[in-house]
Structure 1
Amino acid sequence: MSTDLHTWGTTAELVGRELDLVAVQGRLQDHSARLITLTGAGGVGKSRLAAEAARRTAGLFPGGVHPLDLPACADLETALKHIDQIVAGTTRRTLLLLDGVEHVAAELAPVLAGHLTAAPALTVLATGQEVLRIYGEQVVPVPPLPTPGPLLAPDVADVQDNPAVRLLTGCAHAANPAFALTAENVEAVVDICNLLEGVPLVLELAARRLRLYPAQELRAWLQRGGDSHLPGPVDVPPRQRSTPAIAEWSCRGLSQGQRALLARLALFRHGLTLATAEKVSPLDAGETAVALEALLDRHLLTLEENPRTDSRLTMSRTLRAWGLALLDAAGAAQAAAARQAHARYYQKLLHTLEGRFQGSEQQRWLRAAAAEHDNVLAALHHLKDEHERRTAARGRLPDRDRPAALLERAALICASLYPWLIRGELTEGLRWFDSTERALQDEGAEDGEEHGERLRARARLCAGAGVLAAALGDHDGAAHRQRRALDMYQRLRDPGPAALASARRGHALFRCGDRAAGQALLSAARTTLNVQGDTAGSAEAATALADVLLAGGESEPARALLERAERIQRQHGAIRDLARTLSTTARLHLHTGDEAAARAALRESIGLYESIDERTELPAVLDLFALLLVRTAGQPQRATRLLAAAEALRSRTGATTTGADRDLLQATVSELRRQLGATLYATARAEGLRLRPEAMAGEALATAEPGRAEERGEAGALTPRQLQVALLVADGLTNRQIAHQLDIAEWTVVNHVRHVMRKLGCNSRVQVAWAVGRRQ
C-alpha cells in the first residue's frame, strides 16, 4: 500500500551510506534513468536508502513521489491497481517508489515495462533482493556496511568512524543513554560488528540488547549463536521484526531443491568455493548450476572474489542459522549424514593439500587451506561428536569400527598442522593434537593392544603437538612431546620421522638451557636424516644446529650449515623454512659485524613470510629487524612500532619469548623509551599495536637505508593508514582502486596521498614507490 514518504523506511538514522546516497541521487537527477533498482541481501538498508534519496530529490518530481510497500499489499492484484492509479494521467515527471519487489518481480516486470513505455514522465525507484530484468534497468548494489575487520589492539580513535561501529554505538546509545564507546568495550564492539558482518538491521537488533548487557556479554552471547533469534521492534514490517523473520522472508518462494542446497551450504562456515558447492550439492550438476544462480540472483549467496585464492560463495550468519535449522528439520538421520559428508570432504581435501604445502605453488595452497580453517574446525567437531556417539554405542559396533572416527580425526588434524602454524592458530591446534592423542591412547588401553595404524597416528600427533608447543614458547613441553613421538617411531621402526623428532627435541632442549644435549641430538639426527635421504629434514636440523652453534660463538661451522640449508630450501621452494634460515643467517651476520648482509637477509626473510601470510614466526623477525634499526639506522620510532607490532601479534597467537631474547628486548625497549621520551615512545608504540598483520611486513620493508634516516625523517613518519596507501600506490593502484580495497572514500585516499608525498618529499607516485622500497 502507499505510505507517507516522511515515515517510510525511517526506523533509524542513515549511517555509512553517504557515497551510496550520492550515487542514487545522481541517477534520479538523470532524466534518462527511468528504472533504478537497489538490490542487496535482506536487512542491508535498501528501503531506507531509497526513501532518503527520494526525499532529497523530491523537488525534481513535480508529479510527486509515490511510495508503495509491496509486501504490505494484500495481493499482487491490489498492488497493480495502486500502481495503475499512480501512473494514470501522468504528464509531469513522477517518481514511483516500489519497496520489496523480490517475490513479485516476474509478474510485476511486464506491467511495469508497459507503464514505463506509455508514460515517458515516469521514473521508478525499486528495492528488492532480486532485479526486475527490464531493459534499461540500472542496478545499484547495496552491500553491508564496512566493518573494522580483525584488529589486534583496537583503539577508540581508530574505529569510532567506521560505519558499522557508528551504527551499533548510535543505536545502543538510543536504547541506553549511558552507553558509550570506551577503551574497555571497544574490542567487544569491534568483534560484534565483525561477527554480524555489517548488516545494518541485524546491528540495530543487537544494539537493543546493549540496554540489558555489557558489550562483552553481548559478544559472548552472539558467539554462542544468539543472533539466530534476535527480536526487534513491533512498529516495523513483520519481515524486519527478528532475524528469523529476515531469513524467512528472504527465502520465501525457493523451490524444494533450492532449499535443500541452501541447507547443505549452511554447513560451511565463512563460505566455500564453487567447485566445493558442486561436489557437496544434493542435486545433480544441471540442477545445482540453476539453483546456485537463483540463490546468487536473490543475494542469498554472495560470490566474493579474492586475487590471491579462489572465489568463495558466502552466506550471512542470519541465513546460515536458518539453513541449519532447515537441515535439522529434515530429520536427525539426514542432518547427520550431511554433516558426515562435510567432514569427509575436508578429510579428503586436507589430505590432498598436505602434499602441496611445499613447492612452487605453495602460496596458493596454503591460502586455500587457511580459507577453510573454520570449515576444518566444524569437521573436527563433527568427528569428535561421531566418536562420542560410537563410544556410547560401543557394545553394538563391530571392533573394527570403534577407532574409525578417532583415526579420521587424527588424520585431519595432522594434515592441518602447517596451515595452523602459518595462521598462528597455536593454542587451539595444540588442544586438538593433545586431546586426540590422549583419546587414541585411551582407546588402545581399553582394547589391550596398540596396532600399527593407531600407534602411527599417535606418533604424528605427538610430533605435531611438539612443534606447536615450541611455537608457543613452551620448549619443555615441546621436548617432552617429541620424546614420546621418538619412542613411538622407534617402536614402529621408522628411522626418518624418528630422527626428525629427535632433532626437534634437541632444539627444544637447547631452548630450555641444555646446549650440550641439544647439540648432540641435533648432530646425530642430522646425520641420520642425510642417510635416509630426507634433505628437507636435514636442512631443518642444520638450521637448528647453526642456532645452537651461534650461541656458543662458533660462527664458521654455523655459516657452513646455514649455507647448505639455504641451498636445499631454495631448491625445494620451502618458503617458511627458508625464511627461518635467513633470519638465523641475519643473526650470524650481526654476530660477525656485517650489518648490511644482516639487513638484506632480514628483508628477504620478512618478504617470504609476507608471501604466505605467516603469523607465528614473523614476530621474532620483526624484533630482530627492530634491533638492527636501533643499532644502525637511527630510526627509534619505527623500531618502537615494529616491536609493538610483534608484541601485538604474539598476543593473538599466544606465543611467548624466552630467556636471553626476552632480556634483550626489554633492554632495547628501555633504550628506546630513553631516546624518545615518554610521550613520543607511547605514541609510536600505540601506532605499532594498531598495525594489522598484513601491514607489519610493509612497515619493516619501508624502512630507510642507513644514512638516509634524516632524509626520510622520523618526524614525518607515516601513520599505519598512510603506509597502507603508500604501498598500494607503489603497487600501481589508482585512488579509486585503493578506496575500494581499503573501504574508504576516494577523497580520503586523495588526502592520504597528499600527506604521504609531503612526508616523504615526493613529487610523483613513482617517487612514492621508490621511497617505500617497492623498487622494480
Structure 2
Amino acid sequence: MDAPAVSIRTPDQRIRVFVSSTLRELEPERRAVREAVESLHLAPVMFELGARPHPPRSLYRSYLAQSDVFVGIYGGSYGWVAPGEDVSGLEDEYALSAGMPKLIYVKDGVTREPRLDGLLDRIRNDDDASYKRYGDPQELGDLVRADLAVLLAERFDASRPAAEEPPPQHYDGGRVPAPYSAIVGRGGAIATVRELLDRPDVRLVTLVGPGGIGKSRLAIEVAAEIAKEGADVVFVMLESVRSAEFVPAAIAHELGVRDAGDGPLEDKLVTALEGRRLLLVLDNMEHVLDATAVVMKLISALPELTLLVTSRSPLRVRPERTFEVAPLEVPAEDARPTPETAAGIPSVALFVERARAVRPDFGLTPANCEAVLGICRALDGVPLALELAAARIRTLTPESILQRLGTGLGLLSGGARDLPERQRTLTGTILWSVDLLPASARAALARLAVFTGPFTLAAAEALVGEGALDALDALVESSLVSQRDVGGESVFTLLATVRSFAASLSTQDEWDDARDDHAQYFFGLAHAAAHGLRTGDQGRWLADLTLQRADLASAVGWLTTQGQWDRAAELAWSLYLYLWLGGLLGQVRLWMTRLLDEAAASGESLSSRAEAIALYFTRAVAFWQQQDVDLVGGLTRSAQLFARSGDASGEALALVSAALARLAAPVPDVQGAIGALERSLDCFRAGGDRWGEAMSLVTMGRVLLVAGEGEAAASRFEESLALAGEEGEPLGIAIALHHRGWARMLQDDVDGAAQDFARGLEISAGLSHDEGIAYGLEGLVAVAARHGDVARAGELAGAAEALRQRTGLFNPAVASFHGPVVEALRSGGLGRTFEDGASRGRSLPLTEVLANAHA
C-alpha cells in the first residue's frame, strides 16, 4: 500500500486534472470529460489499462501525486478490489485526493452497488468537494467545462498577489519535462549552475560533456528548480531537429509562436519575447551548432533573456560560460565500504535506485556490495551506462552483470580506441545490453533507429512487423527505449546516444530499406489525416500529428533527397490543414524550397502537380506582400498547374490564396480578388470539395464585408457555416461563426454577434487554435464596446494583443475588423479606462481570459 519509490511520469506538462472513474462502464463520460478539460487548455490525467512497466496501483497513485484538480465520475459500479486490498481503486483514488480541489459528478437513473453508495455518502459530507448529478455524457461535459472555468478563476483571485505589478505570463507549451527518475549525486553541480545563471553578467551557460553523462537530466533539474520559484522557463528539445535551419522553428513551437513564413522567424521570436524575463533551455545542441547565430541574435536583442544549453561541444561565443558535467563519483579501487556507507556514494546510489525501479526488493547486502562497487568502477560513473546495467537486475545478479560487463567492454579494444574513454565505456555498455537481447529485439532496435522523435505502437509495427510489441517490451525493460502515456496511448522514444548506436547495427541497404518503410508509413498517415482533419475528429488528428511532427518532416526530407519529389510534395499537401493550424507553414516553405532546389540541381523536371504544390507552399505561406516575391504570379501559376494535373480542389485553393494576396497588396485589387474567389468556388463545387467550398465562401464574404456589403457578406457566411456544420469540422465552423459575428455587428444584432464570437472562441480554444482565439477575443471587444463596458473591452483587446505578440500572429490591417473599434475607444474620452483594462488583459493568463469570456 506504500506509494512507489519510482517517479512515474504523467502524460502532460500543464495544469493537470485527474479523472477518476470506472473504465468501461463510463467510457462515453470519460471521453466527454477529456474533451471538456482540453477545451480549457488543461491536461486530463486519465489512468488507462495498457502496457506500462508499472503496476496499476502505482501508476494511478503517482499520477494523483502530480495532479492539481480531482474530478470524480460515478455510475453504478464500485470497481474491482484487487487481491490483498480492502478497497477498490475508485475509493483509493478519492482517499488520496485529500487536499486537492474536488469536482464530483454522479450519474442519475442507475442502480448503484452498496459499497459505492457508502462511498458517495462520505463524499457528500466532504466540505471540500463540489457534488453534482448529471444525465448524459454531453451534460457532464458541459458541467465539467463550466465548473473548471469557475474553479480556475476563483483560485487565481485567491492567490493573486496584492502588489500592483501583475504576475508574469506563462505559456503552457514549453514547460520543463518531468524527469523519469530522481536525480542522484548532483547537488554541487546544481548549485554551481544556479550561481552562474543568477549572475547578472552571465547570459549563456553551456553544460558540456559526452553522451550519457547526464547533461539533459541536470538541465531539467536546474530548470525545474527555477520554475518552481515562479520564474518563466521554456525548455526546447533539439534532439529530433535535423539541421540548424529548423532550430528557430523548434524554439517557436515551444514558445507558441506561429511560423507563417511571413518574415524571418528570428524577428518574430524577438518580438514575442520582448520585455519577458525568461530562462530558455536548448537541450542537445551539438548537432546544430550552426544555429549559434540564432542564439546570439536572441541574446543581443533581448537583455532579459538567459540561455541554458546542453551540448557535447561548447558554442565558442563570447558570452558563453561552460560547465563540464562530470561522471558520478565512484568507489576508490581500494575502498571496502559497508552496504550502509556504500549507499552514499553517488554512482552506487544511482545504480541501486534504478535497480529498484525494476526489482523493488533489491538492496545492497554484504553478499552483493562488492559486485555493485565493481560495476560502478567498470562503468566510470557514467549515469546512462549505470542505468542500462541496473535494468538487467530483473534477470541477472550483480555478480553476473559485472562478469558480463567485463566481456562487453572488452569488445571495444579494437577500432573504438579513438573514442574518448567515457564514450567507449558507454558504447560498450550499450553493446553489452544489446547483446543480451533476443535476436528479434536486436533487429527491431536497428529498424526503430530511423525514428527521429516519439513514435507510436502503430508506427513501430509498420517498421518492425508482427513482433513489435514483444520487442518493445524487451527494449523498455532494458532501458534502451523509454515509454510514456500520451492521451491514453503508449508512446516510445530512443535516446540520441542509443539511436546513434542502433543505426550502426544496419548495413547501408538495410538502413535505406528502413527509411523507405518509415516514409511509406508517414505518407499513409498523412493521407489519412487529410480526410480526418476535415471531420469532427479534427482535435485527435491534430494531437497525433503534433506528436509525430519530427518524423513527418524526416519523411519529407528522405523522399526529397531520394528524388521522390512527387511523393514528398504529396505528403506535404496532405498535411495542409495541419500545417496551417499548427503554425508550421514556414517549415513547409523550407521543405518545398529544398525540393525545388534539389530538382533544379538534378536537371530533371517536376511533374505539374509537384511543381504546383511546391509553388503554392513557397508563395501562399503569407498574404502580406513581399517585395522580393511575386505572390500573385506564383499562385496563379500554381492554380494553372493544379488544373493541368486534374486537381480542381488544388486549383481552387491556390485561387483563394491568390485572391488574398491581391487584397494584401499595397493597392488592394478588390475586383480581381472577387473574380479569383468566384472561380475558386466553381472549382471546389466541381470537385465536390465541401470543406473547400466553405472556406471559399467565408473568404468571399470577408471581401464583401471589407467592401461594406454587409448583407451579401452575411449570406456567404451563412452558407459557409451550413456546409462546415454538415461536415462536423470544428475549424470551419469557428471561422464561419467569427465572420458571421462581424456581419451581425454591422446589422446591429449585438446579441447574435456575441453568441457567434463566444461559440467560435470556445471551439478555437478546444483546438488550441491561437489565431481563432485571437479573433474570438477581438470580436468580443466590439460587443463590450457596444454595451459601453470600456474596461472589459480593453481587457479583451489587451489579451488579444498579447496573444498575437506572443504567437507571432500579426494581422494585416485589411483583416483587422476590430481595429477601428479599438482606435475609437483609445481616442475617445474613456481612453484611460480602456488602456487600464488593456494593461490588465495583457498580463492575465490565457486560461483566466478564456474563463472570463466564457462567463
TM-score normalised over the length of structure 1:
0.57
Q: What's 2:469 paired with?
A: 289
Of residues 533, 547, 550, the one that matches 1:357 is: 533
Q: Are the aligned partners of 1:566 and 1:581 in contact in 2 as well (CA < 8 Å)?
A: yes
Q: Conserved in 2, the CA contact under 8 Å of 1:169 and 1:180?
A: no
Q: Deviations over 1:207-233 (max 9, x none)?
A: 9xxxxxx97696573674955798424
The structural deviation recorded for 1:598 is: 0.8
Equivalent in the alignment of 1:455: 608
8 Å Cα contact 1:264/1:323 also seen in 2? no
CA distance in 2, matches of 1:426, 1:158: 21
Equivalent of residue 245 in structure 1, options 376, 381, 385: 385
CA distance in 2: counterparts of 1:633 and 1:294, whole angstroms: 65
Segments of structure 2 that go 5 or more residues without pairing to the other structure are: 10-51, 69-165, 207-212, 225-277, 290-309, 314-323, 330-345, 348-375, 392-429
* Contact 1:417–1:429 (Cα < 8 Å) also in 2: no
Change (3 A) 1:202 1:529: closer
CA distance in 2, matches of 1:277, 1:324: 18
Shift of 1:254: 3.7
Q: Which residue of the partner structure matches residue 850 of structure 2? A: 700
Aligned pair partner of 1:406 in 529, 544, 565: 565
Q: Flag the 1:220–1:278 CA change in 2: closer, same or farther, 3 A.
A: closer
- Give the SS at the match of 2:720: helix
Following superposition of structure 1 onto structure 2, how do residues 335-350 of structure 1 map, counting pairs within 5 Å? Answer: 335-350=511-526
Range with greater deviation from structure 2 (221-230 or 368-377): 221-230
Q: Is the aligned partner of 1:232 residue 2:364?
A: no
Residue in 2 that maps onto 1:423? 582
User: More relative contact order in 1 or in 2 (CA 8 Å, sep 6+)?
Assistant: 2
2:460 alignment partner, one of 246, 258, 277: 277
Mark the structure with the bigger radius of gyration. Answer: 1
User: 1:174 is aligned with what amino acid?
Assistant: T
> Structure 1 residues 671-680 or 494-503, which shifts more?
671-680
CA RMSD across the alignment = 4.9
Q: Is the 8 A contact 1:599 1:628 kept in 2?
A: yes
CA contact (8 A) 1:642 1:699 kept: no
One-letter amino acid matched to 1:428:
Q
Say which of 583, 586, 595 aligns to 2:750: 595
Deviation, structure 1 residue 586: 0.9
- Pick from 844, 849, 852 the counterpart of residue 687 of structure 1: 844
Alpha-carbon separation, structure 2, partners of 1:158 and 1:518: 37
Distance 1:381 1:147 in 2: 39
The answer (yes or no) to whether the contact 1:427–1:654 under 8 Å persists in 2 is no
Cα offset for 1:597? 0.8
Indicate the residue corresponding to 2:285 in structure 1: 221
For structure 1, which runs of at least 5 residues remain unmatched after alignment? 1-22, 28-35, 42-128, 190-195, 208-213, 388-402, 704-771
**Matched residue SS, 1:470:** coil
Corresponding residue for residue 264 of structure 1: 447
Contact 1:638 1:684 (8 Å CA) reproduced: no
SS state of the match for residue 509, structure 1? helix
Summarize the alignment of residues 735-774 of structure 1 with structure 2, pairs less than 5 Å apart. Answer: 773=855
Rate the CA distance shift 1:147–1:234 in 2: closer, same or farther, 3 A: farther
Number of the residue aligned with 1:312? 490
Does the CA-based 8 Å contact 1:475-1:508 persist in structure 2?
no
Please give the alpha-carbon distance, in whole angstroms, between the structure 2 residues aligned to 1:576 and 1:279.
31
**Cα offset for 1:682?**
3.8
Instruction: Give the deviation of 1:465 after TM superposition.
Output: 4.3
Is the contact between residue 360 and residue 573 of structure 1 (CA under 8 Å) also seen in structure 2?
yes
Residue among 583, 599, 612 paired with 2:767: 612
- Aligned ranges 1:381-400 → 2 under 5 Å: 381-384=557-560, 386-387=561-562
Q: Which residue of 2 aligns with 1:564?
A: 719
CA distance in structure 2 between the partners assigned to 1:541 and 1:140 by the alignment: 48
Letter paired with 1:221: M
The equivalent of 2:109 in structure 1 is none
How far does the alpha carbon of each residue in 1:612-657 deviate from its partner, in whole angstroms, 9 at most, with x for none? 3323444333333334334437263675366445543554356543
Q: Which residue of 2 aligns with 1:483?
A: 636
Superposed displacement of residue 584, structure 1 = 1.1
Match of residue 303 from structure 2? none
| 2-structure distance, mates of 1:666, 1:420 | 31
Of 660, 664, 671 in structure 2, the residue corresponding to residue 511 of structure 1 is 664
> Counterparts of 1:487 and 1:433 in 2: how far apart (Å)?
18
Give the structure 2 partner of residue 375 of structure 1: 551
2:835 counterpart of 1:657: no
After the TM superposition, which residues 123-134 of structure 1 pair with which residues of structure 2 at under 5 Å, given as runs? none
Residue type at the aligned position of 1:468: V
Seen in structure 2, the aligned counterparts of structure 1 residues 545 and 156 have a Cα distance that, compared at 3 Å, is closer
Given residue 625 of structure 1, which amino acid in structure 2 is its aligned partner?
Answer: L
Hey, what's the Cα distance between the residues in 1 that align with 2:222 and 2:766? 40
Distance in 1 (CA, whole Å) between partners of 2:682 and 2:175 is: 59
Distance 1:170 1:606, change over 3 A: farther
Deviations, residues 539-567 of structure 1 (Å, cap 9, x unaligned): 32221111111112212222222222221
- Taking a change above 3 Å as real, the CA distance of residues 668 and 201 of structure 1, as seen in their structure-2 partners, is farther
Q: 1:509, 1:383 → 2: CA distance?
A: 34
1:123 maps to which residue?
A: none
User: CA offsets per residue over residues 212-269 of structure 1, 9 Å max, x none?
Assistant: xx97696573674955798424524245844653564356344443344344334434
Q: Which residue in the other structure is 1:579 paired with?
A: 734
Q: Secondary structure at the match of 2:195?
A: coil
| Contact 1:505/1:518, CA 8 A, preserved across alignment | yes
Compared with structure 1, are the counterparts of its residues 459 and 161 closer, same or farther at alpha carbon in structure 2 (3 Å cutoff)?
Answer: closer
| Aligned length in residues | 530
Structure (1/2) with the larger helix percentage: 1
Superposition map of 1:142-181 within 5 A: 155=168, 171-175=189-193, 177-180=195-198
Is 1:522 aligned to residue 586 of structure 2? no
Q: What amino acid maps onto 2:326 in structure 1?
A: G
Preserved CA contact (<8 Å) 2:701 2:717: yes
CA contact (8 A) 1:640 1:684 kept: yes
CA–CA separation in structure 1 for the residues paired with 2:645 and 2:175: 60
Q: In the superposition, relative to structure 1, how do residues 567 and 302 fare at CA in structure 2: closer, same or farther (>3 Å)? A: same
Contact 1:641–1:687 under 8 Å retained in 2: no
Structure 1 residues 351 and 526, CA gap change in structure 2 (3 angstroms)? closer
Determine the C-alpha separation between the residues in 2 that align with 1:645 and 1:548.
23
Corresponding position of 2:119: none
Q: Which residue of 2 aligns with 1:765?
A: none
Does structure 2 retain, via aligned residues, the 8 Å contact 1:472–1:656? no
Q: How does 1:201-212 map to 2 (within 5 A)?
A: 201=218, 203=220
- Secondary structure of the residue aligned to 1:593 is coil
Specify which of 323, 328, 341 is matched with residue 504 of structure 2: 328
Task: Assess if the C-alpha contact under 8 Å between 1:580 and 1:605 holds in 2.
Answer: yes
Aligned mates of 1:240, 1:635 — CA distance in 2? 66
Q: For residues 142 and 356 of structure 1, do their structure 2 counterparts lie closer, same or farther at Cα, with a shift above 3 Å needed?
A: closer
**1:341 shift after superposition:** 2.3
Distance in 2 of aligned mates of 1:522 and 1:156: 40
